[in-house]
Amino acid sequence: MTPRGLLERPELRTDCLGYYNVFQEICDTRNYNQAGIQPLQVSEIRGYLAIIGDESKEQVAKAVRLLLKMDKVYMTSYFEKQGQ
């Protein structure tokens, strides 16, 4: 079964691929507990951007906004699969 978030996904623009790649990298750092996955933390996103040298205020704000939206879709899909 394909998650609803993937069925309704828009076409990924090439200028957004960098954000998607960052999302994939940061997902590996997410916390888990008894309830399952936890949301990405803004501090993790900011820390990753600082490591790769992308620290302009506008770029960080845009990245945080986009990555948190991606994370919302990811988490919704995860919990749908878990039946929660």
Do the beta carbons of residue 75 and residue 37 sit within 8 Å? yes
Predicted TM-score (pTM) above 0.85: no
Each residue's pLDDT tens digit, 26-68:
998 888 888 888 999 999 999 998 998 877 888 889 999 999 9
**C-alpha pair distances (Å), 44 with each of 2, 9, 10, 26, 60:** 28, 25, 26, 7, 12
Residue that wins the pLDDT comparison between 9 and 73? 73
Do the beta carbons of residue 67 and residue 40 sit within 8 Å? yes
Tell whether the model's pLDDT for residue 4 goes beyond 70.
no
pLDDT value at residue 5 = 62
pLDDT value at residue 65 = 94
Q: How many residues in total does the chain contain?
A: 84
- As given in the structure block, the two tokens for residue 35 are 């309830």
Q: Domain coordinates of the chain in residue numbers?
A: 13-82
pLDDT value at residue 6 = 63
Contacts of 55 (CB under 8 A, 6+ apart): 49
Residue that wins the pLDDT comparison between 74 and 82? 74
Between CA 68 and CA 62 the distance in angstroms is: 10
Between CA 58 and CA 60 the distance in angstroms is: 6
pLDDT value at residue 64 = 94
